[in-house]
Amino acid sequence: MTKKELRQYIKEKRKLLSEDEAAELGSKISMCISECKLYKEASIILAYWPLPGEADITQIIFDAKKHGKILAFPRLMNNSMDFYKTQRFADLKYGYMNLREPDERCKKVSLVELREALMIMPGVAFDTSLNRCGYGGGYYDRYLEKHPYIRKIAAAYEFQVFDEIPHEDTDIKPEMLFTEKRIITQL
């Protein structure tokens, strides 16, 4: 299966999830992440606001806020991505590709802060070796290439995990993958 075919297959599978199912599965994923040592030790969480059908990590976003962690979300511009700290969820507006992005009042995460950050990566599909198939823009790979010290985990539904997926040498893997059924780690 090519990356394009894989993306289409997962898109169709996501459509079959009801809102209630997505919320229940997302709650399980978020609970597992909240127990993770990497999450507990991080002072800054580089998160994403899930698109319809993506692993719903909103519970972990609210948990991070409740526990005083700094939350930052990506803003895409000029074929690159940076993370910006948000004080309120109202700071997120709809931007590129209908993603919820921090508005212009938000401050960019500094290089010092990035060293204490944990990134939660989105993805279309993963395999048991932690290879990741994203949406095809390469934003996360380019960002992480510039900041290789950032700790990174990923969240996905179990149906997004395969024994093997097509991948490139430039695709950056998470250290751990959380689904509603298991945690896959190379640590």
Where residue 72 sits, what CATH number does that domain have?
A: 3.40.50.10420
Q: How many domains does the chain have?
A: 1
Nearest-angstrom CA–CA distance, 74 and 100:
9
Q: Is the Cβ–Cβ distance between 55 and 157 less than 8 Å?
A: yes
d(CA 65, CA 60): 9
Position 100 confidence tier, pLDDT thresholds 50, 70, 90? confident
* 140 three-class SS: helix
The yes-or-no verdict on residue 1 having pLDDT over 70 is: yes
Highest mean pLDDT among 77-81, 94-98, 104-108, 173-177: 173-177
Q: Are 83 and 72 in contact (CB under 8 A)?
A: yes
Range from 89-103, 137-151, 163-177 carrying the lowest mean pLDDT: 89-103
Q: What pLDDT sits at residue 170?
A: 85
**How high is the pLDDT of residue 119?**
97
**What pLDDT shows up at residue 187?**
64
Rounded-to-integer distance, Cα 51 and Cα 63, Å = 19
CA-based end-to-end distance of the chain: 28
In this prediction, residue 179 has a pLDDT band, given cuts at 50, 70 and 90, of very high
Using an 8 Å Cβ cutoff, are 164 and 185 in contact? no
The closest of 45, 24, 20 to 34, measured between CA atoms, is 45
Both tokens assigned to 160: 């997004």
pLDDT score, position 79: 83
Q: At what angle do helices 58-66 and 19-34 cross, to 10 degrees?
A: 40
Residues 87, 151, 94: CA angle, nearest 5 degrees:
40
**pLDDT value of position 88:** 82
Mean pLDDT of the chain: 92
Domain ranges, residue 61: 3-185
Residue 182: what pLDDT?
96
Confidence of residue 89 (pLDDT cuts 50, 70, 90): confident
For the record, the structure tokens of 23 come out as 């919320």
Q: Where on the phi/psi map is residue 130: left (φ > 0), alpha (ψ -120 to 50), or beta?
A: left
**Tens digit of each residue's pLDDT (9 = 90 or more) over 6-59:** 999 999 999 999 989 998 999 999 999 999 999 999 999 999 998 888 899 999
Strands (E), the chain: 44-46, 70-77, 80-86, 92-94, 100-102, 117-121, 125-127, 132-133, 151-155, 161-162, 176-178, 183-185
pLDDT at 111: 92
Q: What is the pLDDT of residues 126-146, one digit of tens each?
A: 999 999 998 888 899 999 999
